[in-house]
Amino acid sequence: MDLPAHQLTMTVLMTPDTANFSGKVHGGAILKLLDQVAYACAARYAGHYVVTLSVDQVMFRQPIQVGELVSFLASVNHTGNSSMEVGIKVVAEDIRAKVVRHVNSCFFTMIAVDDEGRPTKVPALEPHTPDERRRFAEAEVRRAMRREMERKFAEVRGGE
């Protein structure tokens, strides 16, 4: 597959060890895979080790069945100095019925760090396609909202 450096795709077969008590794939198993995909996408783009700062808007739209193929479509949507927003779309495929469903979406904020664990600069993302420009603009809105929430949280914490 010939994807640009800011994109990554991973496909995993959901096996019985991922099941919860109702027989569906456990949300925690999906969250773990999401974190791994976000790490791989961001680290490959940045060329550095990265850590997860936050996970926003995890939306479990539909349950995933054991036996389905699950594809994680990841993209660095926006970059700051050391931060990157990675958007991930999750698609489940019932391989026998040949039915494909969008089952999950989320956004991870990843921070590139140097060998001493300090934040380090990442390459600026230059969106080229209409989809990339849309994702970039939407990521800027989410970034502004996160900063406002951080500011309000700091005010509350300061009043304790």
Q: Locate the domains of the chain by residue range.
A: 7-158
Q: Tell me what pLDDT residue 159 has.
A: 59
Query: Across residues 13-25, what is the average pLDDT?
Result: 95
Is residue 125 a contact partner of residue 60, using CB atoms and an 8 Å limit? no
Is residue 37 a contact partner of residue 88, using CB atoms and an 8 Å limit? yes
Q: Is the whole model's pTM more than 0.75, yes or no?
A: yes
128-143 pLDDT per residue, tens: 999 999 999 999 999 8
What does the alpha-carbon distance between residue 156 and residue 160 come to, in Å, rounded to a whole number? 7
In this structure, of 25-34, 46-55, 56-65, 109-118, the range with the lowest mean pLDDT score is 56-65
- Tokens representing 103 are 């089952």
DSSP state of 16: G
Is residue 79 a contact partner of residue 122, using CB atoms and an 8 Å limit? yes
What does the alpha-carbon distance between residue 73 and residue 84 come to, in Å, rounded to a whole number? 16
Give the homologous superfamily in CATH for domain 7-158.
Hotdog Thioesterase (3.10.129.10)
